Structure 1
Amino acid sequence: MTVTYSNKVANATFFGFHRLLLRWRGSIYKLLYREFIVFAVLYSLLSVVYRLFLSDTQKRYFEKLSLYCDRYAEQIPVTFVLGFYVTLVVNRWWTQFVNLPWPDRLMFLISSCVQGEDEQGRLLRRTLMRYVNLTSLLILRSVSTAVCKRFPTMEHVVEAGFMTAEERKIFENLQSPHLKYWVPVVWFTNLASKARKEGRIKDSVDLQTILREMNHFRTWCSTLFGYDWVGIPLVYTQVVTLAVYTFFFACIIGRQFLDPQLGYPGHDLDLYVPVFTLLQFFFYSGWLKVAEQLINPFGEDDDDFEVNWCIDRNLQVSMMAVDEMHMNIPRMTKDIYWNDSDLRPPYTVAAADYCIPSFLGSTTDMGLSEVLQHEDVESHDLRPRRQASVLGRVRRLLSVQEVPEFPTSSRPGFKRHSSDVSSVFYPFCPEDHGHGHGHGRLHHAPLDALAPVREVSVGPPSPDAQPDPPSFSQEPKPGPNSTAQPDPPYFSQEPKPGPNGTAKPAASPEPARAPDTAQTEAPQSPALTETGPRRFRWTVPGEQGKPPRRQFSWQPSCGSLHGLPSPKGPVRKRGLAAAPHFPDTAAQPEALQPGVPEADVLDSCGNHQANEEPSLTP
């Protein structure tokens, strides 16, 4: 009878196992109390004899014997032997449970594949399921003592309804010295083939599926028979049992408390009751009793399988499935979420704490806050400052690509389990506050303002290289009366102070200039009111003559940034290059030569960008 206590340990609480320690049914106390009492009585008798009835000479001999037993008893590998044995027994016990024959898969197939709502079809389905249950009953009678006591003879099987009198005669007339649990399997397969010929089973594939499942069911039965036939080798069980009992027999003598006045090592106290020896006996003997109980789970112990209950359950459920529930389908109705795309089943008050948002991945916490550089921005000076940290120097030394920095004063909070994606990923653009002297802020733009990361090649262009395709379909193409706009710089712009410390006024955008005219004064940028794609490239300045490296470009659209005021001046980035854009109608530019002075480049949104080391990307 299996002892179930899962509901008692559903939640881990402080000292939560105390409820289990006080239970008697299925406990170690019930299983071991007899052996424990015998050990305690023997130890007490020997202690009384040593203290009261032995002479001084006899006590000296007993003390030598006690020291000898205590010294060599520890050489018995009780823990090693018991550990392997119990592990083997537990694995065997669980495998036998997994191979218990359950007819559920067969009853589903028979109910759906064996057609016919008349009396003949009903009889066919019930007979097939009765053969399935008869097979399991015959094999369980041969391995379980509880089932054998319930059905000691075939007459009891006939009276229970698993077999008819005619089938019993045929079964007994089959002369075979072996166990005949396979006979109902043969009846099942023959009857299923006959049903296929009569058209009760419409397709041969259905017949093949039914026979395959029946073969799996027979395999479970034969596996149980094999475990009953071939057990754990007897020598292993004998070795473990002898090791445990020999160890504790030596402990009865070797763990006695000797006279402390004699000065024997380890015998400085006389406590009369060997507490730790009793605990050791309780643990080791209990370990052995666990293996003794689990080695055959088809007996009548507290933790053995409820095989008789399995027989009753399988018969009742399988007959209901193939008879009463055959083609008994409830009327289809619209569910309560018929027009609701956001399905959220309700929670009770007791389960309200378990209503949590969905998990979106461990990197959701990062958002863009981990991508952007954390830097302090002052209201009067928006020039970015890189942190001169050891980590940054190591990255530059190892040529590790660093992300660009953006002036930020406040950042949106990114929730780890938030399922609202539209509130997580936004581009960041500067904003003016007050009278135009505010600092940069993070702006929430529509979700389509961010483009996926794609690979680009950073290096000198080849003669056969073609210009980059436009990002999305929003990039304005040059018309007959328009000139090509250069690529926008990084989307973190800051006003460039003029000669007197004030920001230069904005001016209309101009076309991109050639590298040889880069030293001329660049016009100022207007407000960000133009539409079109903005291409942001995160690059590391390279040296001339080196092969092109593979970098990633992040190309959101700036067309969604209508009406945002522009920065008050150009921005100069250290170590980052703004690659000019050459449209399809423009000729391929010449590669920049070393020694060309810095050039100020305007982006397509009218922002002024200083270029230190241009990196041309076709």
Structure 2
Amino acid sequence: MQFSGKPQVLRRVSQVPSVLAFSQTAPDANRFGESIRILLRWKGSVYKAIWKDLLVYYALYYLLTILHNFVLGDDGKKAFMVLAKYCLRNSNSINLMIMLSFFTSTALQRLFTVQTMIPGTAKVITFYVMSLKPNLPEGPIIVEQFARWTVIAWILTFRVVCKPLRTMFPNMISLQVAGIIREKERLILERVETEHNTTPRALVVIDWMILLLKETSIHNRFTEKSNHLKSLDVVMSFKKSCGNTIKFATKNIPYALIQAAIIVVYTYGLMTLMARNFDDADSAGFMTGIVNYFPIIPSLQFFVFLVWLNFGRIAVNPFGTDEDDIDVNLLLETHIQDSYRLANLYTQDLESVFGAMPQKQYNEAPSS
């Protein structure tokens, strides 16, 4: 397959490490110390996601402590103690479990739906290549055309939902410069937008693929007439996956739900900042005073709820820039390389790969 400007495309996406560098295997449960190793992991960890929030939390907590101990007068300290006792009594009245359970379950269900409908290009290209009659003079050309349009449709789908890919290809001209689309194709796709056509550009390219299937059938290039409808079914499944990806990724979880979860968690955090048990500190003395200066339990509860909230927020957008998000740039490199390999299957056979095969000698043997 010959993308024009093939080196430019691969050079831009080759900055992403290989698939093996990103491969993650599940930890072995029976290995001694594996749980400790997981807890101490920094990359992609919850600590890396929320350490700034916890830093601000402790800074505010000790700032309030200094304010009470060294800045406020007697009347101010009494008002501070009244507010602290009020927050202590009511800090557990906020039912965070129900709110966060609903939010994270909704986000995870949506994440699973998006991941299962991510379109792939290999099946579409392979089915078309294998459906054609062998040794057609124009075969390599139409195979290249079909495979390239398949990759273009995939790219245009994920430009809608993935910010990193939009940054790499901000407009149609950038796609032409990278050698992915040709000038005439760019003009047609740009015209779609100027004519205020609401059809996603990816679906326009898939329409081109359907027309190519029609032309292939008209010129009797399929090995069997039924291959036309079979190939059409595969392309329509690909189109549905592209359309669903755009629909689900752009129709996000309502901001009101995300805002409600954020407000509840941070409201709880603010209440635990003020919550202090001054009565027990006066009666129990030193140890309770230490507990008030080091809010282990309140901060641990806030830590757990904050982790839960951030996990849900990461699941809301699986195509972002977080370390646990789907690496669309890496997927792009994979699909481009797959399109080269699969398109080249049209002009290859086993003999060109392995040399003379035993089954060929058997097939050529004279029958008795």
Output the TM-score relative to the length of structure 2.
0.83
Provide the C-alpha distance between the structure 2 equivalents of 1:168 and 1:258, rounded to a whole number of angstroms: 70
Deviation at 1:241, TM superposition (A): 0.8
Alpha-carbon distance change, 287 to 267 in structure 1, aligned in 2, over 3 angstroms? farther
User: Which residues in structure 2 correspond to 1:407-422 (within 5 Å)?
Assistant: none
User: Which residues in structure 2 correspond to 1:133-148 (within 5 Å)?
Assistant: 133-148=151-166
Bigger proportion of residues as helix:
2
Deviation at 1:81, TM superposition (A): 0.6
Provide the C-alpha distance between the structure 2 equivalents of 1:11 and 1:70, rounded to a whole number of angstroms: 40
Contact residue 272 and residue 299 of structure 2 kept, 8 A:
no
Deviation at 1:211, TM superposition (A): 0.7
Structure 2 residue 148 is the aligned partner of structure 1 residue 127: no
Aligned equivalent of 1:382: none
Alpha-carbon distance change, 293 to 125 in structure 1, aligned in 2, over 3 angstroms? same
The Cα offsets for residues 436-492 of structure 1, whole Å up to 9 and x where unpaired, read as: xxxxxxxxxxxxxxxxxxxxxxxxxxxxxxxxxxxxxxxxxxxxxxxxxxxxxxxxx
RMSD of aligned C-alpha atoms? 2.4
Q: 2:236 aligns with which of 188, 212, 215?
A: 215
Q: Aligned with 2:25: secondary structure?
A: helix
Deviation at 1:328, TM superposition (A): 1.4
Aligned equivalent of 1:177: 197
AA aligned opposite 2:80:
F
AA aligned opposite 2:197:
P
Aligned equivalent of 2:314: 293
Provide the C-alpha distance between the structure 2 equivalents of 1:132 and 1:168, rounded to a whole number of angstroms: 15
Larger gyration radius, structure 1 or structure 2: 1
Deviation at 1:232, TM superposition (A): 0.9
Contact residue 125 and residue 150 of structure 2 kept, 8 A:
no
AA aligned opposite 1:136:
W
Structure 2 residue 214 is the aligned partner of structure 1 residue 193: yes
Aligned equivalent of 2:63: 45
Deviation at 1:145, TM superposition (A): 0.7
Deviation at 1:10, TM superposition (A): 3.6
Provide the C-alpha distance between the structure 1 equivalents of 2:174 and 2:203, rounded to a whole number of angstroms: 19
The Cα offsets for residues 83-123 of structure 1, whole Å up to 9 and x where unpaired, read as: 11111111211221222111121122112111242441011
The Cα offsets for residues 380-428 of structure 1, whole Å up to 9 and x where unpaired, read as: xxxxxxxxxxxxxxxxxxxxxxxxxxxxxxxxxxxxxxxxxxxxxxxxx
Aligned equivalent of 1:206: 227
User: Which residues in structure 2 correspond to 1:174-573 (within 5 Å)?
Assistant: 174=192, 175-178=195-198, 179-254=200-275, 256-258=276-278, 260=280, 262-263=282-283, 269-271=288-290, 272-324=293-345, 326-330=347-351, 332-333=357-358
State how many pairs are aligned.
332
Identical residues among aligned pairs (%): 23
Deviation at 1:325, TM superposition (A): 5.4
Aligned equivalent of 2:10: none
Structure 2 residue 89 is the aligned partner of structure 1 residue 68: no
Provide the C-alpha distance between the structure 1 equivalents of 2:203 and 2:129, rounded to a whole number of angstroms: 23
Deviation at 1:53, TM superposition (A): 3.0
Output the TM-score relative to the length of structure 1.
0.51
Q: Which deviates further from its counterpart, 319-328 or 12-21? A: 319-328
Q: 1:103 aligns with which of 121, 132, 145?
A: 121
Q: Aligned with 2:278: secondary structure?
A: coil
Deviation at 1:309, TM superposition (A): 1.3
Deviation at 1:17, TM superposition (A): 2.0
Alpha-carbon distance change, 135 to 324 in structure 1, aligned in 2, over 3 angstroms? same
Alpha-carbon distance change, 325 to 20 in structure 1, aligned in 2, over 3 angstroms? farther
Provide the C-alpha distance between the structure 2 equivalents of 1:261 and 1:138, rounded to a whole number of angstroms: 63
Provide the C-alpha distance between the structure 1 equivalents of 2:67 and 2:93, rounded to a whole number of angstroms: 27
Provide the C-alpha distance between the structure 1 equivalents of 2:219 and 2:249, rounded to a whole number of angstroms: 40
Contact residue 210 and residue 232 of structure 2 kept, 8 A:
yes
Contact residue 176 and residue 182 of structure 2 kept, 8 A:
yes
Aligned equivalent of 2:36: 18
AA aligned opposite 2:288:
L
Deviation at 1:310, TM superposition (A): 1.1
Provide the C-alpha distance between the structure 1 equivalents of 2:185 and 2:76, rounded to a whole number of angstroms: 76
Aligned equivalent of 1:82: 100
Q: Aligned with 1:290: secondary structure?
A: helix
Contact residue 129 and residue 345 of structure 2 kept, 8 A:
no
Deviation at 1:15, TM superposition (A): 2.9
Aligned equivalent of 2:9: none
Contact residue 164 and residue 320 of structure 2 kept, 8 A:
yes
Deviation at 1:194, TM superposition (A): 1.0
AA aligned opposite 1:23:
R
Provide the C-alpha distance between the structure 2 equivalents of 1:119 and 1:319, rounded to a whole number of angstroms: 19
